[in-house]
Structure 1
């Protein structure tokens, strides 16, 4: 199993020699098969051979693959281009005076659409207190499954139980989770995901799952031709309400086809490797980094996560990049993200570089 995992990864990724890439939490590296699909799509576009049939097949493939990866039926998945647009659908449908509970310092694309609703009550608490802060009168909880700033994971089981007890709905942002952390999206009303990080897709691919029965919490404010039950039957004039797709497709944003051509191949690779195997690989590397940090007298939160952010060391990101080691600075922290194309040599190189700059 491990040999097949390593062989498949080696065949799909071609990082330049001397590059240690530990920044998947900002942008995932595309596999060779996805790059080939993008080249094919670009060639077809410039030569007049592009077809809607091929593009729509890719969109359907992405919808179905993401459904399998998050354990929902395909008709529960809506496609689009950005997380904030999907979140905006949910924010726009909230009634005046609704209370939305968020975690402190969560990612802007998740929380800003609610902050722009000045008639909505936005309440923010520390992540570790989120489940306890759900109360009668809370309409919606919006939280990232894994925090972008430092890799901490939300207690999703406790949150789900607290929301059910209070009659609140839950919007989960899986952008920093899907691709390495197993998810049961049908346990939450809405799950959004920007697929260009851990799912290795080109930018321009965003997915939204809507649990059956939670559709009444969203209005298709941005509906267009692509949201019709039959997209070729209602191209002109307003689409009658009864002609909108009855599935989560009514919440689609017409996709940018080129990114979806690559995304179909990227998600196929993630499925071949398996989320459980990817998680074991990624977290083992993160734990190796934690152990090395401890030997240097350093500590970081987020145990059990593929993201490790070291407080106070954000200043090292620029000199590390000059040395060919790519990490990120977030909130003054040095943030390293370990994914399937990384190995122990990458961890050790980063540790040596950090030790030499302390």
Structure 2
């Protein structure tokens, strides 16, 4: 690794994250030194740092987008009330929930940091970059056609942001230190729901090209290709989160009894089964220590829906903000939410509440301790 003085010289003129002030110069020296000895800036190197990972990176859709779509010309935004009503300070940050989203909860519960910021945030500090960011964008998917209608950042566009991140961090701390940050991080990818719901079952193009089984194969192929590209860019520990029971979203339920729509759930299960098989193959073929872990969200969320009383929920089929396709994102801007969100598994017609996310993330970590801790 280059000396701290060399890294300091690199950092001067590196953009917003650099300054000519003595305080900022000292900060660069401190954080480079911390990277060199394996300590994540901003996190105590003790009992609270539960995970062996020093940074967390998130790719995905609105489930884990903490605000990358803010300012974009898209209906897939959440930077206005009632979103964020239970977020610290009651601020609508662009997270598609009443409070924190899974990226925040994972970062906190793994002892890395309290919130996972969006990479598109113009106020990122060096410590933010060193401990990880989210590239996720509401409306995105593994199918290149999925992000078009919502003008989301596509999956390939998120990889471009990751490449930009690597260049920015290299300019601040040097290539060797940047490589270490990446190699000691955990990467999550959380997409597929928009591909199935908002692309295949909503738009005509893919349904004319594929039946559901062949579309899932096409989708899995794209997802594997995305995962391999992330791996080639330096990600060694990749946690692939499957899709939830999409037929149980309030907007997808059917009939007077509002039962979960079975075909969408079957598509979700098929995607999860196939991607798990492909990840098993990648692990068997890996020769450089890379690890590809399948993370189940389907049955963890379904358990809340099937046993709501056990978890303290009263409503399983409705969203706190409504049930139709138009009861989410830009369409509920400044609308009133229900009086007690803690009774609801779903916050809007697509996205779970912070309470539901909290329970699911706790289960995900417990089930994957050997990989995440």
Please indicate, yes or no, whether the TM-score normalized by the shorter chain is above 0.5: no
**Bigger proportion of residues as strand:** 1
Name the TM-score, length of structure 2 as normaliser: 0.25
Higher relative contact order at CA 8 Å, sep ≥6: structure 1 or structure 2? 1
